[in-house]
Amino acid sequence: MIPLGAIHFSPAEVALILAILAFGSIALALPATLTLAWVGYRRGTTRPAANALWYWFGGTALSVATTALAAGQGLGWFAVPIGWIPTLLLAAVLNPRWTPNAS
């Protein structure tokens, strides 16, 4: 039988739905955030792995927020690659240049 009233979720079901949404948004952001993490690794001097982790956290926050804003505008699945744009631009700007004659 199809329920005709409002749908009610238990707190455990709400937590599961939010966990799935959070994991999915992080997974969809990986192409951009891993690029920024690689840039952070290359820019790190004393602890490059820790630097890459912080770049990944920042890139994930930026990408997920941009994707959420784009999805709020009704762009559907086009919001995912649009959410990558600021993170990839940041990675391009912060990418260290390899100059052989630099001192």
* Distance from C-alpha of 36 to C-alpha of 52, rounded to nearest angstrom: 8
- R_g of the chain computed on alpha carbons: 19
Q: For the chain, first and last CA: distance in Å? A: 75
Query: In which band, very low, low, confident or very high, does the pLDDT at 1 lie, cut at 50, 70 and 90?
Result: low
In this structure, the number of other CB atoms found within 10 A of the CB of residue 62 comes to 20
- pLDDT of 50 reads 94
Considering its fold, how many domains does the chain have in total?
A: 1
5 band by pLDDT with thresholds 50, 70 and 90: confident
- Residue 19 within any structural domain of the chain: no
Domain that holds residue 43: 24-94
**Per-residue pLDDT tens for 31-50?**
999 999 999 999 988 899 99
In a domain? residue 90: yes
In a domain, 10, yes or no: no
Assess if residue 6 is contained within a domain.
no
Query: CA-CA distance, 42 to 82, in Å (whole number)?
Result: 25
Examine residue 14 and state whether it is found in any structural domain, yes or no: no
Q: For residue 102, tell me if it sits in a domain.
A: no
Domain contains 88: yes
Please indicate, yes or no, if residue 34 is contained in any of the structural domains.
yes
The string over 7-41, giving b where at least 16 C-beta atoms fall within 10 Å of a residue's C-beta and e elsewhere, is eeeeeeeeeeeeeeeeeebeebbeebbbbbbebbb
